Amino acid sequence: MIVVYVIVAVVVLLAIWAVLIFNHLVRLGNEAKRGWSNIDVQLKRRADLIPNLVEAVKGYAAHEREVFEAVTAARTAMQQASGPAQAGEANKQATAAIGRLFAVSEAYPQLRASENFQKLQDELTDTEDKVAAARRYYNQTVYQYNSRLQSFPDLLIARLGGFNEREFFELDQPADAQAPSVEFPGGAGPK
Amino acid sequence: MTLEEQIRSNRIRSGMLVLCFGLVFVGIGAAVQAIYGGSYLIIIAGIAFVYAIIAWFANGSMVASWTGAKLVTKEQYPELVRAVENASIAAGLEQPPQVRVVDDPCPNAFAAGGSPKSSYIAATTGLLGMMDKRELEAVIAHETGHIRNRDVRLMSLAAVLVGVVALVSDIALRIAFFGGGRRRGGGNPILMIIGIVMLVLAPIAAFGIQMSLSRRREYLADESSAEITGDPEGLALALWKLKQDKTELRHANRATAHLYIETPLNNANGVRGALSGLFDTHPALDARIESLEKMGGFQLSALVGQQQQPG
């Protein structure tokens, strides 16, 4: 009889333990999801600002077709991106293209002085800051979440519960930091 | 200590604080009753109970009115509001805290309120004038750290409860010494002495609680700031600037001192100056800068030198 009790007790304890781990993983996963939606909101806002920016610059520098096309292409890539890794790539592309657009605008003092342009520039800087902030939180939670999924014994529960690892968004790498200055010597960033 | 442990410990301490507050007032009530007779114990304990409930829910707005912190909009202070938004995104708060500004030339900042949703961050106009974007973001991230670590409820409660203990025991003592004529008969001299001793000890105990709350919390919030902005150097520069400044906050008092990022009571002289290590609500700025230097692997002196040369 005692053996049965022990077995029942062990099974119950195991079940409680599994539920606790399951709930913890769900919570971490939700946090990562919330972190991602913070990034997503800002990327959308950024994509919405781009047409206005293109319009503003076009009024002064209509012949810079190539730059406009690059910016528009980057915007399309941003909107079509699925998943953090793709969105990250598209966002980098957009940052580079917008940087070129601002570099072009350097040559038009009237454009730079216009209130509309300054406001757009300000808004874009703000979205960039917010993407950076949201990225720090998101990557941190993804790191926590993924390392739980990879480590024993949580990985057992993760397998059973169908948890999948999440992608990082623009994970900071030392090589990344150097790339823009090589690509655009002397180009002014959107700052 | 993980964030969850910190949050849990803060919740327990908030409860303990309210309990201690209740006990102190039962003590004060007992002391007054011992001096005057009558049924002061139940009256004072009852008032304290009601006050504690109000304080639990409204400590944020109480602190705001004591410190003169007024709600502001994004149109009025775009840079500050953005710094708060960004820090709260990076800290993973569900929504950005409200933003308040104190019209005071002394640079300082604090966070107050209950839950993260009802919390706010307040900065003085002096702070906004003195800090550049990077430093302001670091200071705001420190305050956001207090909100994320759930320090704010405990610290705000300490402010509204401790301040009132000092006030009440002050009044009671004054009456005990100068209101002798109105004393009802039957006062036992031994009981009276015990009563007066308790009235003197109450505010000291309260300040003890308040001080024990904030010192380690400041280091933790500095750490959180570095985590939120990824820039411990920015906070070190900001603290360095605060250290240079010698103006005193107009609305500062003992009750709210521990809320601020840096102690607002700068002109510590006389007894308080001599015992400053004992009665400080904050660790020395130098010690905080040093721990940031260790965290980020940099030397502030080198940074400051750099900053002064070009500008």
Average pLDDT value for chain B: 81
- Residues 6+ away with beta carbon under 8 Å from A79: A47
Contact assignment for B87 to A133 by CB distance below 8 Å: yes
> What is this structure's pTM?
0.81
Contact assignment for A137 to B86 by CB distance below 8 Å: no
Q: What are the residue ranges spanned by the domains of chain B?
A: 3-308
Band the pLDDT of B139: cuts 50, 70, 90.
very high
The number of domains in chain A is: 1
Q: Which domain holds residue A69?
A: 2-139+151-183
Band the pLDDT of B14: cuts 50, 70, 90.
confident
pLDDT (tens digit per residue) in A125-140: 899 899 999 998 999 8
Count residue pairs from A and B with Cβ separation < 8 A: 26
Which helix (H) or strand (E) is B102 found in, with range? strand B98-102
Omega cis (within 30) before B105: no
**In this predicted model, which residue has the larger pLDDT, B305 or B15?**
B15
Band the pLDDT of A178: cuts 50, 70, 90.
very low
What's the CA gap between B200 and B31, in Å, rounded? 11
User: What pLDDT was estimated at residue B214?
Assistant: 67
Contact assignment for A137 to B94 by CB distance below 8 Å: no
Residues in A touching B230 (Cβ below 8 Å):
136
pLDDT at residue B273 above 90?
no
pLDDT at residue B132 above 70?
yes
User: What pLDDT was estimated at residue A190?
Assistant: 37
For residue A127, the chain B residue with the least C-alpha distance is B86
Average pLDDT over residues B150-164: 85
Q: Is residue A69 part of a domain?
A: yes
Residues in A touching B85 (Cβ below 8 Å):
130
Average pLDDT over residues B289-310: 76
**Residue B136 and residue B127 in contact, taking contact as beta carbons nearer than 8 Å:** yes
User: What pLDDT was estimated at residue B252?
Assistant: 67
Contact assignment for B92 to A126 by CB distance below 8 Å: no
Out of A31, A130, A141, the one facing B89 most closely (by C-beta) is A130
Out of A31, A134, A141, the one facing B89 most closely (by C-beta) is A134
pLDDT at residue B287 above 80?
yes
Residues in B touching A39 (Cβ below 8 Å):
none
Average pLDDT over residues B51-55: 89
pLDDT at residue B266 above 50?
yes
Average pLDDT value for chain A: 83
Token representation of residue B292? 């940031």
Contact assignment for B92 to A34 by CB distance below 8 Å: yes
Report for A110-119, B22-31, B68-77: range of highest mean pLDDT = B68-77
Q: Is residue A145 part of a domain?
A: no
pLDDT at residue B167 above 90?
no
Report for B37-41, B168-172, B193-197: range of highest mean pLDDT = B37-41
What's the CA gap between A144 and A28, in Å, rounded? 8
Q: Is residue A191 part of a domain?
A: no
For residue B95, the chain A residue with the least C-alpha distance is A38
Task: Name which of B75, B89, B93 to mutate to probe chain A: the one with the most chain A Cβ atoms within 10 A of its Cβ.
Answer: B89
For residue B90, the chain A residue with the least C-alpha distance is A133
* ipTM here: 0.75
Side-chain half-sphere CA neighbours of B67 within 13 A: 37
Dihedral sign for Cα B12, B142, A40, A115, please.
positive
Contact assignment for A126 to B89 by CB distance below 8 Å: no
Out of B82, B89, B92, the one facing A31 most closely (by C-beta) is B92
Q: How many residues can be counted in chain B? A: 311
Residues in A touching B224 (Cβ below 8 Å):
none
Residue A68: CATH number of its domain: 1.20.1440.20
Q: Is residue A102 part of a domain?
A: yes
Residues in A touching B228 (Cβ below 8 Å):
133, 136
User: What pLDDT was estimated at residue B308?
Assistant: 53
Task: Name which of A38, A136, A144, A171 to mutate to probe chain B: the one with the most chain B Cβ atoms within 10 A of its Cβ.
Answer: A136
pLDDT (tens digit per residue) in A9-53: 999 999 999 899 899 899 999 989 999 999 999 999 999 999 988
Catalytic residue among B143, B218, B223, B262: B143
pLDDT (tens digit per residue) in B195-235: 777 777 777 776 776 677 767 888 889 999 998 998 899 99
Out of A31, A133, A141, the one facing B89 most closely (by C-beta) is A133
What's the CA gap between B113 and B97, in Å, rounded? 10
Contact assignment for B94 to A34 by CB distance below 8 Å: yes
pLDDT at residue B19 above 60?
yes
Q: Is residue A44 part of a domain?
A: yes
**Residue B305 and residue B298 in contact, taking contact as beta carbons nearer than 8 Å:** no
Which helix (H) or strand (E) is B18 found in, with range? helix B3-36
Q: Is B137 annotated as catalytic?
A: no
**In this predicted model, which residue has the larger pLDDT, A152 or B234?**
B234
Q: Is residue A188 part of a domain?
A: no
User: What pLDDT was estimated at residue B280?
Assistant: 67
Out of A35, A129, A130, the one facing B92 most closely (by C-beta) is A35
Residues in A touching B82 (Cβ below 8 Å):
126, 129
pLDDT (tens digit per residue) in A70-126: 889 999 998 888 888 888 888 888 888 888 888 888 888 888 888 888 899 889 989
Q: Is residue A65 part of a domain?
A: yes
Q: Is residue A61 part of a domain?
A: yes
User: What pLDDT was estimated at residue B305?
Assistant: 67
Band the pLDDT of A186: cuts 50, 70, 90.
very low
Q: Which range (A115-124, B23-32, B58-67, B244-253) has the least confidence?
A: B244-253
